Amino acid sequence: MEMSNKTAQQIYHEIRANPARARFGFGRKAALVNIDVQNAYTRVDEFKTAYQTDPRQIEYINALARLFRARGWPVVWTYVAYMESGEDAGVWGTRTNTEDSLQNIKFGSRRAEFDERAEVDRTRDVIYCKKMPSPFFETPLQSLLVWHQVDTVIITGGSTSGCVRAMAVDALSRGYRTIVPEECVADKHESYHYANLTDMLLKYADVLPVAEVLDWAATGAPE
């Protein structure tokens, strides 16, 4: 195993700056999947479980969503919420049982609601409640992407080390070109955030500046 005294952030920026780094690249049509942009994970002023990396994260997500809608491309929002019993969280909800625990994000609660800053179009966008990290797990997401004939998936939301990474692995495994706009994902600690950006960059996704993704979404390949 290679050893290093560099921080996770330093390693990430060093790898990202490599001009020889190969890309998967954009395809012809994309879906935007915004993972768990809900109060439990975005409202740092209210909940201990929330986190923020780039303060303009939701602003960038909204800008992407507007571009995707304008092109007739799918915009997906996911959230997590559980029954009063918490049994639908399965073993994932067994490590702790406090008011901050995952399985205690209850339907109809403040923690389960989308952040008010997120411009969710409830008549046009697709909304899925998921129970596990990846938005692909036991949701109709795969069928939606097949129906829209997309070949590229843009992933935003959180957390970088959890649901975003799980989505990236699943998306690549299903044959999608997978793009992560760096400013659009967040995590609780910079170490987890940058270590997982590095892992995705090296293996599962193109991690790109959001400006480049916005530009492609506005002017990229037609359907």
Angle at 53 between CA 49 and CA 55, to 5 degrees: 105
Residues in the chain: 223
Q: Given CA atoms 39, 133, 153, 195 in this order, what sign does their dihedral have? A: positive
The residue among 81, 72, 65, 100 whose CA lies nearest residue 184 is 65
184 is a catalytic site residue: no
Catalytic position from the list 30, 50, 163, 210: 163
E strands in 60-170: 75-80, 126-130, 152-158
Residue 159 structure tokens: 């957390």
Backbone angles phi, psi at 121, to 5 degrees: -90, 100
Specify the DSSP class assigned to residue 162.
I
d(CA 13, CA 194): 9
- Between strands 185-186 and 152-158, the pairing is parallel
State the catalytic residues: 163
